[in-house]
Every structure is written in structure tokens, then in C-alpha cells.
A and B are shown apart, each in its own frame.
Chain A
């Protein structure tokens, strides 16, 4: 693997003490390209190393930090609005991913830039939830019939909703993978295991499920612009949760129940590869049974070791472009069987070609 300054810093933040101006330049570029500037600044602040940032560099960290602070603040406001909107219909606020990290005040939320709020509902409450959210000002974003039907028939979420005034975007899910995906997840099991955020009637997936969702999302993704950010999320979640004695046992049990062995295998493999996340030997042994065959693993290493690097020219090696392209294809293939995928892609490219104006 090519030497990447950003990754070295994520592993050992005290390296900031010895950076030249040229290296700061490169670090800011790599961090910016993968959305990690604010998180890097958080690590620097937490370790009381801000004094080592030269003044001409500091302004970029502060700029991103201000942006993050605003996002973080507005999530709090959005959550209170969501609670009011959903309580009227007797529905809970159940959070996943970035918003859950914020609600639980996890390390992974600090400096994490994200744009959507991810919610999970029981499948049979989706219509009710949608109308409750629409009443509160969140409106549908996809206005053509094909897209709308596609979401409802084949996806694990409805088309994203955007608030008419505040522009906040909600991703409303009933599962963490599409029903057509190769791996089937029983969403009821996720709902059975949720935890409440200190008596506020706001819920999150349990720690094990947050980790499993994070790896599932990452290894079904087609776009790896923020791949390293997601690996860093995983690294932080594992570090923070593993303080609880029972965490690893729960995780290794839960992974079988939810049928998410393969994504967890990849997640642990690449998190320890890129960020040296410490994982108990017993867990590695137990998760090894989910590994693909040796040939497949070599192929996966080939693509992931390239695509999970920052999407910046300084981190590209031979075949990086190919690796990203293969993963994009793979993500479609994992989500849908060919007999659904091919007509869908043809239809989408036709709509793109004629300007996306298929009749509404």
C-alpha cells in the first residue's frame, strides 16, 4: 500500500508535532478529499496538540470545525422537531448511523460531517411515518413516477424527504439492506434490540447493531469518496464500545443472528489494516469463518486496499480507478439480481439521455 500521510496521522495523531509545511499542505488536501478535516482537528484538540498547527494552516481546521459545529447543533434541533412530529402518530424516533452517533454522544460523532438523518421504522408503519413527516414539512424529493415506484418496490427506504424551510434531509428506512439484496436481514430483529437515549423517547440501534450497520453500509456501497471516513467511524465505534466487557461477545453472537458475517469480516479486516484497530484474537478467529475463499479474498484486497484510500491524486496507485469502478459495479450486483438490475440501468440511462423527463 502506498504511504498515506492522513492514514499515518489517524493512527498516531502525535505525528503533528513533526510535520513540515509541505506535509501540512498534503495533509489538508487528503483530509479535505475524504471529509476528515474536522475529525482530524478533533483528535488534535483532544490530545492538546493545537499549538503545533502553524497559523496559516489553522484557519482551514477552524473553518471546517465551525461548519461541523453548526451541523451538530442543527441535528439537536431537527431531533426535537422529529420527536414532536412523530409522537402525534405514536411513532418513535429511531436513529441510525451519524445521527445515532450524535444522539449517543459517541466519539465517532465528533467532527463527523454528514448531510442526512437516517431513521428506521417498522415496515408496516412506513406510510404513517411518511404522512406524519410530510405534515411537519418534510416533502418528497423524487418527482418522477419511475423513481418513486422503484424506491417503494425495490429499496429498503422511501425516496428521501427534504424539509421545505430548513432543507434538512431524512432517509426513511424500513431495513438496512434492500429486500432484493443477496444478504437478507430480518429488520424485526434490529427493532427488538434498540436502546433509548437517556429517557428522551429517542432510540438508537444497539452498539452491536450500529457496528454491523456501519460495516454493512460500507461494504455494499458503490461510492468510496468517504470510504476512509467510514473506516475511521468503525475504528472509533469499536474502540469506544469495546470498553464494555460484553461487547465483543454480543457482537459475535449478533452477527450470526443478523446474517451479516461477511461485511463484519471485511470491516474488521480493513479497519485493522488501515487504522491498526485492536481486535481480540478470539474475535478474529470467530469471524474468520465468514471469510470468502482465498482467491476471492485476494480480489477483494486488490480493490478495497485501493478504494478505501483517500480519493486524492496523491493516494492513487496503478489500478485505483479500476478498483473504484469494480466496486461500483459490485454494489449494484449485490443489491439486485441481474434480471432486475439490467432493465433498471437501461431505463435510467434512457431517462438520463432524454433529460430525465419521463412522464410524471
Chain B
């Protein structure tokens, strides 16, 4: 109780620190409900009240006195600069997560970044590059519920030389129907509050299970899988050509264009070491069985 009060006070004044993989963010906000969300969705080891070097100084503020009281709105700021239009105050927690995604995506040209979920077993990682709505987060949450280690549900951060994947562990973001699907599938997962009517529909965040050790350990890519959730579809895993996989991964990259030759080479190297598949599913249990089998093959 005392701890959470101190945390709330820090959020208001000097800021609280959230450590996710290689990044430390400092968040200040007058909206104290954020304190509770952060404390319940992040692990104790990811939160602190003092850090010397901060990668992203962010704040969530009321845009002005009017929108503080009348249909309250909030604004995300990256060191005083607002990259987005204000949103309704009810969306405060997802707004923080999206804002942080933006900070990472626009400041990480030291790595190749794909819009993808990444999970690992036996030091072999699956990269799931996909457009929104393809069922990537659902699949990712399902795998994590059955013992795969989460590296990220949003970004594959690829080292330009070694192709190692950096872990940026943050709460998994689920949308619309997948919230109920995962609630049933993993009843002991902790869900943050459910927020309706956002740009992406209804969203909720899931705390990464505490069984997950090695929060910050990197992993080597072994598979690149393009997932597609299709109602009533039979589970199917089909090998796809490396050339196709390359182009589709590049399409799902935040900074492939910026990195030019270095990006081309890094992505080529990742594709070289990965088996590449198209994956279609509707049944989560079957989906997980498929990937467990892949992992078992690799081990033998």
C-alpha cells in the first residue's frame, strides 16, 4: 500500500521509470489511475523510482483546462512534443502503450524493426510479421500461456550484424474478440481494464506471466511465420519461398527503407537462417500444437 502510494506520488512529480528490454522510459502524469495499471501490468523488476539514463521522457497530460473537465481528453507527449491528436481520457492506458510503441519505432534505426510478435522456446524464436487484424497477438498470447517465452507482441528488433532478437517485454495488447478467447484459454492471465471504442476497437492488455524468467534475454530467429486467423479454417502450415518471405517481411518493417543496404543485408541474413511458413488457423490449441512440434523437431 505504502509502495503504491509512493509510486502514485512519483508519477505526479518526478516521474516513474519503466524498464522494457534495452529501453528505460520515464512517465509523468497527473492521471493517477495510470499508476495502478502500470503496477498491475508490469513486473516489479521492470519498474523503478530512480534511473540515471532515460531513453524516452514521456508524459500524459490534459490538453488544457477545458478538456480537463468537459469530456476530458488526454495528450501523449514525447519530451514536450505531441506526435498524436488528443484522445478521450478513458483511453489513457492504451494511449501510453501506443505512444511508447511510437517512441521505440521512431528511435531504433540501430536495429531492423519489423511489425511482428516474437516468442521463443529452447533459444529458437518464431517471428510473426503481420498486419493488424491477422491474429498475431492472439496467437502470441496463446503460445505464451503454454510456455513459450515472449520477446515482444509488437516488434521484432533485429541486430544488424548477429540477427539476434532483442526482448522488449511489455504487456500483450489484445483486441475485440481475442480478449474473450484468451480469457477462456488462459484463465489465470491477469487482464488490465477493458477499454471500448478506441481506434482499434475494444482493447485490453495482459500481464506477461511471472513464470517467464530471463525477461531481457535475446534469442536467435529460427522461423518466420506469416499468421492468418480465419473463422472455421483448418490449421495449415505451408512452407513459403524465401523470396516471398523477404518481400512480405520488408512490407511489415518500420525502418527497412531507412536502413537501406544495412536493412537489406540484415533481413536477408534473417531469412537465410529461418524456415519460412504461411500459417492459417482458427483453433488455438491446434495452432500451439503445431508450433510445439516444430520446436521439438528443432531440438532433435
Contact = CB atoms under 8 A, between A and B. Distances in A.
A4 to B, nearest CB: 15
A58 B110 CA distance: 9
B259 interface: yes
B109 A24 contact: no
B102 to A, nearest CB: 14
Interface string B178-201: 000000000000000000000000
Contacts of B122: none
A342 interface: no
User: Which of A57, A63, A64 has the largest number of chain B CB atoms within 10 A?
Assistant: A63
Interface string B24-60: 0000000000000000000000000000111101000
Interface in B152-175: none
Given A22-B52, A24-B53, A54-B53, A70 B107 contact: no
Interface residues of A, number: 24
Contacts of A24: 53
Interface of B: 22, 52-55, 57, 79-81, 107-110, 257-260, 262
23 contacts: A20-B52, A21-B52, A22-B53, A25-B52, A25-B54, A32-B79, A33-B80, A56-B53, A56-B55, A59-B110, A62-B109, A62-B110, A63-B107, A63-B110, A64-B109, A66-B109, A66-B258, A66-B259, A66-B262, A67-B258, A69-B260, A70-B257, A312-B79
Contacts of A62: 109-110
Given A58-B110, A66-B109, 19 more contacts: A20-B52, A21-B52, A25-B52, A25-B53, A25-B54, A33-B81, A56-B22, A59-B110, A60-B55, A62-B109, A63-B108, A63-B109, A66-B258, A66-B262, A67-B258, A70-B259, A73-B260, A312-B79, A313-B80
Interface in A218-251: none
B128 to A, nearest CB: 24
B22 A59 contact: yes
Contacts of B81: 33
A120 to B, nearest CB: 29
Interface string A34-75: 000000000000000000001011111011101101100100
A29 interface: yes
Interface in A90-132: none
User: Which of B55, B79, B109, B259 has the largest number of chain A CB atoms within 10 A?
Assistant: B109
Nearest to B255: A66
**Interface pairs A-B: 9 shortest CB-CB:** A21-B52, A66-B109, A63-B109, A62-B110, A21-B53, A59-B110, A63-B110, A25-B53, A70-B258
A60 B22 contact: no
Contacts of B109: 62-64, 66-67
